[in-house]
Amino acid sequence: MDESDANAVAGSQPKNNQGTSIFREYDEMNRLVREIDAQNGETRY
């Protein structure tokens, strides 16, 4: 009998081009300057 677990991938999150769900970039003074979300949407600060 072959049963698949419907919740097996419940905890997995989509990944962006960097391979993460959220990619954060900081400047030299550790200030957040850019975020890339799982759909590769970019936010600059």
The pLDDT tens digits for 5-45 are 555 555 667 888 888 889 999 999 999 999 999 899 999 99
| Contact between residue 45 and residue 32 where contact means Cβ atoms under 8 Å apart | yes
- Domain boundary assignment for the chain: 14-45
Q: Would you state the pLDDT for residue 9?
A: 57
Q: Which residue has the tokens 């989509």?
A: 14
Q: Would you state the pLDDT for residue 8?
A: 57
Of all helices (H) and strands (E), which one includes residue 24? strand 23-26
The answer, as to whether pTM is greater than 0.75, is no
